[in-house]
Amino acid sequence: MSDGTWGDGTRSVRAGEEAPVPGAPLRPSPVFAAPYHLGDRPPRADGADAYARTEHPTLRVFEAAVGELDGGRCLSFATGMAAISAAVLAVVRAGDRVVLPSDGYYATRLLARDELERYGMTVEYVPTPEIGAVAARGDLEGARLVLLETPSNPLLDVCDIAAVARATRAAGAVLAVDNTTATPLGQRPLALGADLTVGSDTKALTGHSDLLLGHVSTTDEALYACLKSFRDHTGGTPGPFEAWLGHRSMSTLDLRLARQAATAAAVADLLAAHPAASGVRWPWRPGDPSYDLATRQMLRPNGIVSAELPDAAAVARLLAAGRLWTAATSFGGVHSTVDRRAQWGGDAVPEGFVRLSCGIEDTADLVADLTAALDAALG
């Protein structure tokens, strides 16, 4: 029932819904029946569902909603990593060349090191700020899959999706874009020429830090069929309750992003002016290395900011002094969090590097609390 002229708030609430039926619930609850349906007829006879791993009514509604925001057909997965794995493994074969971001989510690199190379694939790593130049030189020739993550996590660099898409298309490669940080409201990779858009819906899309979900969307029917077959065979399907909660939670995405972005702007300014912090990154702050591209390519900002404190001890003092900023490794939720990325060992960042995820608490309260915490971080 989506209307292409509707704004982000309307689409977030109404995506995936059909015309209302008098006497029916405004939004149906999840179907908790057994994962199979009894009967003496062949599976899918007269359009009936056969088995919840391959089809489920609650999941279809959630996928329709996410697909509307992405601008393609969506397949949901049990986690973000299950979605990334499907986007990669459903496309490539032994001997293929795969290009991944060297500065993106570290678990994607672990997937490449421990699984892709084991199956005989050649994996190359390119920093997000450099992939545009690599594409322009024609160095993507011979690649089967190119995966971008923009803005990158945790450094928040942005790359030109449309330019890389032209290069991958010319090279005969598939382009997938991890859109987790931006969300479908902040960036639409499929409209910019990507073949696949991937998201960890654990983060901002559902946004309450209480779900594990992921998805892949595409406008290519052959790729969709390939991904659907991969999910059916490997079993990465989310449960109906998770899908229902995900659909319910994404209704507030527009409101959450607006508050988080407003806070992020204030937090980025505070960090840039405070002697305890350096190297502040927020792509929508004038002067940021990604500012020009982000404001041209992306539809709206979000609430993730990164910066560097002097060392790990300074981060510990900041967290001990703050009352509204919680130490946590995920991001995009309603609570404001700080993550010292070096403690996980997966990112090439200094010991004092932090990723701040702005929640939906009052901006003034968060800024005041962070100001006091930064003062304490100075020791």
Q: What positions carry a catalytic annotation?
A: 53, 105, 178, 203
Q: How far is CA 336 from CA 155, 249, 291, 332, 344, in A?
A: 18, 17, 23, 9, 20
Note whether 153 and 181 are within 8 A (CB): yes
Yes or no: say if 193 and 218 are a contact pair by the CB < 8 Å rule.
Answer: no
d(CA 174, CA 167): 10
Distance CA 85, CA 88 (A): 5
The label of the residue with tokens 């309260």 reads 365
Helix (H, G, I), strand (E, B) or coil at 182: coil
Q: Is the dihedral of CA 277, 278, 282, 284 positive or negative?
A: positive
Residues 309 and 276: beta-carbon distance below 8 Å: yes
Q: Is 28 helix (H, G, I), strand (E, B) or coil?
A: coil
Alpha carbon distance 376, 371 (integer Å): 9
